[in-house]
A and B are shown apart, each in its own frame.
Chain A
Amino acid sequence: MKKLLKIALAMGLMTAMISGCVPEDNTPSTTTQGGTTAANDDTKAADATTTTATPGNFDDSQAILVITREDGSGTRGAFVEIIGIGNDEIVATAEVRNNAGDILGAVEQNDVAISYISAGSVSNAVTALTIEGIAPTTDNIRSGAYAIQRPFNVVHNGSLNADAQDFWNFIFSAEGQAVVVGRGYIEGVMNAPAWEQDTSATGSITVGGSTSVQPLMERLIEAYVAAGGTVTVELQGGGSGVGESSTVDGTFEIGMVSREVRVATLTSGELAIDGIAVIVNKANPLTDISIEDLKDIYLGDLTIWNQVG
């Protein structure tokens, strides 16, 4: 009997804990919007649980969660340059994530988050904002109307061997650039010539570097093989920095760099142009943001959602 009592007590405690952790109040409170009372505190908790709900529940008196890529990332470098702040000026309390997947996950899970990723990686689980009225569509990026964009470069150390040259030619051929456009990026070369295969090239090469270029390069290699390419191309990651340094030291025949090339001794070609999309949670009603606000958010001057716009 005593044992039974104890077990019951333990179970009771656990249920209390579990029920305590799952906020029962899922219905949106009417005092949420611009709430003036102390009740605001409690509704915030309720709101947070309805992360994936309709924008109507969004409490814009919440603080902004700034998420950024890590120091050294090509995406980050291009982003800060375009919005006009220094690489080190990003507010120190910003969360740091080092790939698009983690950023998407974090923004999906948190209704007050804002971040930026390659436009090609945006999923429909988040909202890509328009920048001063202009959406990150391929047309807008091509015309330059959408300002936040950067080049995808491929580099080599000045002398390509026959194998690497064959793949390089493919990248900058009409066939290769068609893959670029097919994946939603902007072609780096307009009116590229048709590919002329060098059938004597049958060796193997390694291409590596920027993780942002990686998914596109993967498709390019597949298209190359499908088009009858005879060189075996191995793809490696690492990042833009590795793309440059490993090409210099010969580990990679061709390096991928998702920003302007910094190493002057490398020969580079612009493979594609990629827009950087600014993303927020689905629950956030915001659809447009100005460069000025974006800058202030990343500087840490704008800290609350209702200050935006």
Chain B
Amino acid sequence: MKRRTLKAEDIFNIEFIMRIVFILSALTAVFAVGLICFFLFARGLPAIFFEIGPIKFITGTEWYPRRVENPLFGILPMILGSIYVTAGAIIIGVPVGILTAVFMAKMCPLWLYRFLKPLISLLAGVPSVVYGFFGMMIIVPWLRDALNLTSGSTMLATSILLGIMILPTVITISESSLRAVPDELYEGAVALGASHTRAVYRVILPAAKSGVLAAVVLGIGRAIGETMAVRMVAGNQALMRAPWDITEGLRTMTTNIILEMGYADGLHLEALIATGVVLFVFIVLINVLFSVLTKKSEKESKFAGKFSFKIPADVIYGGIIGLVLGMAIIPNFSIAPNISSSADISISGAIVRGNEMMSPNISGTITDGKIESLNIDGVEIVTTRIEGLFINGSFVESSIELSGEGGRERSVMLIDGIDSGEIVNGEVRIISFYGKNIDVLIGIILGIFLGILLIKLITGFDGLIKVMTWIAAFITITAMGFVIGYILVRGVPSLSLDLFRFRYTADNTSMMPSVINTAIMVLATLLVAVPFGVGSAIYLVEYAKRGNKFVKVIRIVTETLAGIPSIVYGLFGMIFFVVFLDWGYSLIAGSFTLSIMVLPLIMRTTEESLKAVPDAYREGSFALGAGKLRTVFMIVLPAAIPGILAGIILSVGRIVGETAALMYTAGIAPQILRGPLSSARTLSVHMFILSGEGTHREQAHATAVILLILVIVINSISSFIAGKVAAKKSTK
């Protein structure tokens, strides 16, 4: 009798203690967000509010952080830059992604699907440094040729690259939400006489709207937070750009941080952290906006049928074709008009040498686009050669060869009536018109009309959309083929045994120590993240009452954590773990930073798989007299393990591919680490460092191949586990 009561008490105690433990682990996410807010704000906000001024910081258009007198910290160009490239990525990536998802879910032959699905998960796992390489070596030169630009590092290049990078996210999530739509809807549509295409696009796609929207929001998050890849293709000029300056370079908030981080100190460093704060606030705003949107769409869901994709469809699909055709057309036809009438334009200006004005007055006449005569200080001169280029606005930088003096002079001339153009041997030609690159614009508009007209004329609506779907799938496959092909073609020939020595030297640039460090980093991160993630998921599913306010807070916080860009994690890790806790660049600083980063992922997947365990299991266990704790650990958790494992594998992928969050937390020491406080370079960081030195590009490519193989291994493990989960479900 005595023994029995003791036992019951014991269990009560453990139950109680474990309950507290679960609540505490559920609180870690809240705690982490609190820490991130506090330390980022503590380091960033004083600079914004007391030193720079919030309005000057947010709306300032000039960024001269290191000027000794009157430094300028305006990040409006970077805020706009982030918005532009994200919008561009959405315009390019989302239509293609959604159509590809439709293709994969509803139109794809099985043999193709078997090949496409792993390919897309492979692409999802490719580290962004690799994408950056691809962008710099393939997209940038191609755009430069196709559009006849001075540099291909432009808004357009960045948008295209980000568009490709968000494809896997958009496709995967859209596809699964399309598959989740009950078959009855499709059958009903077909029974009413709709064709397959019509049923898919008019019934299934609208029904999957909220999932597709979630995919788009995740895509936005990925695009706005991307750092390492954007850095290599954006041009990085901190200049104000208009939305139509798609052929100009720009700088985003993320790249602003990563570019100047290494050399920043004092107020400059604080301004960079403040940029991180603004980025963080941005992400939070997007999340809030999204949750408002989903709430709204839930309310409207009974009218779902009314909100079909009909209208945007034509425009968006036409847009893709337009973009494609536009690019095909531009290099072959120059549509830019020459100046025909001299009435529109006039010349005025001055000759300058350095910053000095030599002759203050130039005037001249232009006839049929040719500079007829030129007067300097009222004296007509004979010119042998005038060359120049208009730069934004109406002034010209040009050089004039004066026949009399024989020397070359630089001049600043004003040509009214044209915005941007060039003078070749006295002939004035327009490149662009009021900032818009007319070649590109006309090409695109023409392409849109041509594309829509052509397909619609031939095949009608069904055909149009069907062809579009196929084209989207084709674009996806091509893009992926290019990325993977690029890595293989450049990397495989560079593989050598030297790269797998256990000791790194500057000569062999071995990646083996980095591989080992990566494995240790993964283990160390999971060691922290898994107990907390699983614990908080257990609390949320098993202990918390539904509709609990606390649960809501944790959900929102987790969403926020999930959306924070890795560069912001990197900033936080540097401020908190490296400097504040004084861990230095070390394994633990890196692994703790990454733990917070993957925590939401593990929480979400565990939660989902716990929810998937039927209540009957729990009831059965309780009925047999088991306590709550015993039920959770002996019955529910084992049943949910495959799902939890899948989440862990996803986290491993994320850790392996991470660069931005590790650079300033785990450091870059290339040897196998010697202890928890020693710095460790993971494989992705190794690749980034090699590519940065410039002399080891071949080895960097070889590293990319190994990274790719790692991703394939991780993916096959996760799909194996996922397969097991599915098998289990179907036997139930």
- Which residue numbers of A lie inside 8 Å of B, CB to CB? 2, 5-7, 9-10, 13-14, 16-17, 19-21, 23, 34-36, 38, 40-42, 44-45, 48-49, 51, 61-65, 70-74, 87-88, 92-106, 109-110, 112-113, 117, 121, 123, 204, 206, 208, 211, 214-215, 218-219, 222, 232, 234-242, 244-245, 251, 296, 299-304, 306-307
In the docked arrangement, what's the CA distance between A193 and B668, Å?
32
In the docked arrangement, what's the CA distance between A97 and B65, Å?
16
Say which size band chain B's interface belongs to: 35 or more
Are A38 and B338 in touch, CB under 8 angstroms?
yes
CB-CB under 8 A from A5, the residues of chain B are 458
Are A20 and B327 in touch, CB under 8 angstroms?
yes
With contacts A38-B338, A96-B236 taken as known, whether A301 is within 8 angstroms of B397 at the C-beta atoms is yes
CB-CB under 8 A from B352, the residues of chain A are 301
Closest to A60 in B: B387
CB-CB under 8 A from A237, the residues of chain B are 262, 667-668, 689
Interface: B16 (CB within 8 A): no
CB-CB under 8 A from B239, the residues of chain A are 92-93
In the docked arrangement, what's the CA distance between A239 and B260, Å?
9
Q: Which of B394-409 contact A (CB under 8 A)?
A: 397, 399, 408
Given contacts A34-B425, A105-B232, A242-B265, 5 further A-B contacts (CB under 8 A): A42-B334, A112-B151, A303-B391, A307-B399, A307-B410
Task: Identify 10 residue pairs between A and B in the complex whose beta-carbon atoms are under 8 Å apart, listed by A's number.
Answer: A2-B459, A10-B474, A21-B142, A21-B327, A21-B331, A38-B334, A45-B331, A73-B263, A106-B136, A302-B410
CB-CB under 8 A from B397, the residues of chain A are 300-301, 303
In the docked arrangement, what's the CA distance between A20 and B447, Å?
13
Nearest first, the 9 A-B pairs at minimum CB distance are A20-B328, A239-B262, A72-B263, A101-B694, A99-B692, A96-B236, A239-B263, A100-B694, A241-B263
In the docked arrangement, what's the CA distance between A301 and B351, Å?
12
Are A106 and B153 in touch, CB under 8 angstroms?
yes
With contacts A106-B136, A110-B152, A234-B679 taken as known, whether A97 is within 8 angstroms of B474 at the C-beta atoms is no
Are B263 and A16 in touch, CB under 8 angstroms?
no
Are A99 and B66 in touch, CB under 8 angstroms?
no
Closest to B669 in A: A234
* Partner pick for A20 among B140, B331, B669, B693, CB 8 A cutoff: B331
B391 to chain A, nearest CB (A): 7
CB-CB under 8 A from B422, the residues of chain A are 63
B289 to chain A, nearest CB (A): 31
CB-CB under 8 A from B153, the residues of chain A are 95, 106
Closest to A226 in B: B505
Are A102 and B424 in touch, CB under 8 angstroms?
no
CB-CB under 8 A from B144, the residues of chain A are 48, 109-110
CB-CB under 8 A from A307, the residues of chain B are 387, 399, 408, 410
In the docked arrangement, what's the CA distance between A301 and B36, Å?
46
A207 to chain B, nearest CB (A): 10
With contacts A21-B146, A70-B259, A236-B667 taken as known, whether A304 is within 8 angstroms of B388 at the C-beta atoms is yes
In the docked arrangement, what's the CA distance between A225 and B246, Å?
52
Are B505 and A222 in touch, CB under 8 angstroms?
yes
Are A9 and B265 in touch, CB under 8 angstroms?
no
B426 to chain A, nearest CB (A): 9
Are B263 and A6 in touch, CB under 8 angstroms?
no
With contacts A17-B324, A93-B391, A236-B669 taken as known, whether A215 is within 8 angstroms of B693 at the C-beta atoms is yes
- Which residue numbers of B lie inside 8 Å of A, CB to CB? 64-67, 136-137, 140-142, 144-146, 148, 150-153, 231-232, 235-239, 249, 251, 258-265, 268, 321, 324-325, 327-329, 331-332, 334, 336, 338, 352, 354, 387-389, 391, 397, 399, 408, 410, 422, 424-425, 427, 429, 451, 455, 458-459, 463, 466-467, 470-471, 474, 505-506, 584-585, 664, 667-671, 674, 678-679, 689-695, 697, 700
Closest to B133 in A: A105
Are A71 and B65 in touch, CB under 8 angstroms?
yes
B170 to chain A, nearest CB (A): 21
In the docked arrangement, what's the CA distance between A221 and B137, Å?
33
Are B694 and A99 in touch, CB under 8 angstroms?
yes
A284 to chain B, nearest CB (A): 14
A178 to chain B, nearest CB (A): 15
B376 to chain A, nearest CB (A): 18
Are A88 and B67 in touch, CB under 8 angstroms?
yes
In the docked arrangement, what's the CA distance between A299 and B140, Å?
25
Are B260 and A70 in touch, CB under 8 angstroms?
yes
In the docked arrangement, what's the CA distance between A183 and B490, Å?
27
* Partner pick for B64 among A40, A88, A100, A235, CB 8 A cutoff: A88
B172 to chain A, nearest CB (A): 24
Are B328 and A98 in touch, CB under 8 angstroms?
no
A41 to chain B, nearest CB (A): 5
With contacts A95-B237, A236-B585 taken as known, whether A304 is within 8 angstroms of B136 at the C-beta atoms is no
A111 to chain B, nearest CB (A): 9
* Partner pick for A94 among B237, B263, B425, B470, CB 8 A cutoff: B237
* Partner pick for B235 among A96, A204, A208, CB 8 A cutoff: A96
* Partner pick for B691 among A72, A101, A218, A234, CB 8 A cutoff: A101
With contacts A95-B235, A95-B236 taken as known, whether A109 is within 8 angstroms of B674 at the C-beta atoms is no
CB-CB under 8 A from A35, the residues of chain B are 424
CB-CB under 8 A from A245, the residues of chain B are 265
In the docked arrangement, what's the CA distance between A214 and B382, Å?
55
* Partner pick for B334 among A41, A51, A303, CB 8 A cutoff: A41
B250 to chain A, nearest CB (A): 11
Are B471 and A14 in touch, CB under 8 angstroms?
yes
Are A10 and B136 in touch, CB under 8 angstroms?
no
In the docked arrangement, what's the CA distance between A19 and B239, Å?
35
CB-CB under 8 A from A74, the residues of chain B are 263
In the docked arrangement, what's the CA distance between A39 and B148, Å?
13
CB-CB under 8 A from B695, the residues of chain A are 101, 121, 123, 215
* Partner pick for B148 among A45, A101, A123, A219, CB 8 A cutoff: A45
In the docked arrangement, what's the CA distance between A48 and B389, Å?
18
B485 to chain A, nearest CB (A): 14
